[in-house]
Amino acid sequence: MNEFELIDLVLSTLGDTASGDPLVLGPGDDSAAVLVPAGSLLVSSIDSLLADVHFPADAPAALIGYRSLMVSLSDLAAMGAEASHVLVSLTLNTVDAAWVRQFALGMREAALSTGVKIAGGNISRGPLAIHVSVHGFCPPADLLRRDTAQVGDQVFVTGALGGAAAAVAEGFAAVKDVDPDAVTPLQQRYFKPQARLSAGKTLRGTAHAAIDVSDGLLQDLGHLMKASDLQARIDSSLVPVFPGADLAQALHGGDDYELLFTAAAMPAQLGVAVSRIGELVSGSGILVDGKQVTADGYRHF
């Protein structure tokens, strides 16, 4: 099976998630072409997920495919953007048609549940990795940025944290033995994160600043505070801890893909639980329970 046959297999598996509005031209040409709504900005991000760094290489392919798309889409949720389409570059060491089909099925499931289209991609031979470029639309005035938090804002987070970290606490070996048809709640947190796209859109005009929790609550909050030049004061007893995880995992663990945002007051219904965990004052850095902390989380180097 050569690369063109592999691409045909992927496209037939993706089916209608690789065609239709807003794609004017989907996979198969040199580039895809997409209709952008008038008055919207294009919102774009790129993410790389490497085997045994960002996911266990021998996890079920469908879960790898699902997670790759969701993790990448989370960056659009953090901007308040409406997700529209993605481009996927897959590198594979060996050609395993069954693996590729399961991977594409996982991507398809994530695409169907978020309404995004898979506009194009690329397959080449190399160490297993998935590179996803995600795109969406947002009116200019509604963009949720990192650098626009305000003194006096409350700090909020969606969902509960630490579940993904608890799942990987014993190393990737602990999550690779997963039955795709019987994923435990902690495995679910790792393999099936939900990009908070709907919550992000609802926060347009309400949140002053936002980021997604990918590297860990404190590290991502640190990015927000650095960009906005403010200090966050967090009450650890208010941090929502996922059942089965502990507070340290909720504060430092990555891979949760919840939304961390600041606003003047508790927002209206977001379709997901929201916790107020602290507030913003003049200054810099983060205090947890009154003590200055280092904003640490996952670092690549």
Give the interface with a copy of itself as residue ranges (CB under 8 A).
1-3, 6, 24-25, 28-36, 38, 40-48, 50, 53-54, 75-76, 78-79, 81, 85, 87-89, 91, 95, 119-127, 129, 131, 133-136, 138, 140, 143, 145-147, 210-212, 227, 299-301
CB closer to a copy of itself, 123 vs 221: 123
CB closer to a copy of itself, 24 vs 265: 24
Residue 52 Cβ vs a copy of itself, minimum distance, rounded to whole Å = 9
CB closer to a copy of itself, 120 vs 163: 120
215 CB-near residues (< 8 Å, 6+ apart) = 254, 297, 298, 299
Residue 283 Cβ vs a copy of itself, minimum distance, rounded to whole Å = 20
Residue 57 Cβ vs a copy of itself, minimum distance, rounded to whole Å = 12
The Cα 71–Cα 214 span in angstroms is 8
The Cα 108–Cα 46 span in angstroms is 19
CB closer to a copy of itself, 90 vs 270: 90
Looking only at the bridges linking them, the beta strands covering 207-212 and 259-263 are antiparallel
Looking only at the bridges linking them, the beta strands covering 154-158 and 259-263 are antiparallel
Report the DSSP beta bridge partners of residue 279.
154, 233
The Cα 30–Cα 168 span in angstroms is 39
CB closer to a copy of itself, 217 vs 245: 217
Residue 246 Cβ vs a copy of itself, minimum distance, rounded to whole Å = 26
The Cα 258–Cα 239 span in angstroms is 12
Report phi then psi at 141, rounded to 5: -75, -15
CB closer to a copy of itself, 7 vs 183: 7
CB closer to a copy of itself, 50 vs 272: 50
Residue 167 Cβ vs a copy of itself, minimum distance, rounded to whole Å = 20
Residue 124 Cβ vs a copy of itself, minimum distance, rounded to whole Å = 5
Q: How many CA atoms lie within 13 A of 69 on its CB side?
A: 30
Report phi then psi at 239, rounded to 5: -70, 125
Residue 86 Cβ vs a copy of itself, minimum distance, rounded to whole Å = 9
Tell the residue number behind the tokens 């926060």, with chain if given.
203
| CA–CA distances in Å: residue 84 to residues 117, 123, 202 | 6, 22, 17
The Cα 153–Cα 259 span in angstroms is 15
The Cα 267–Cα 210 span in angstroms is 13
CB closer to a copy of itself, 125 vs 177: 125
Residue 89 Cβ vs a copy of itself, minimum distance, rounded to whole Å = 4
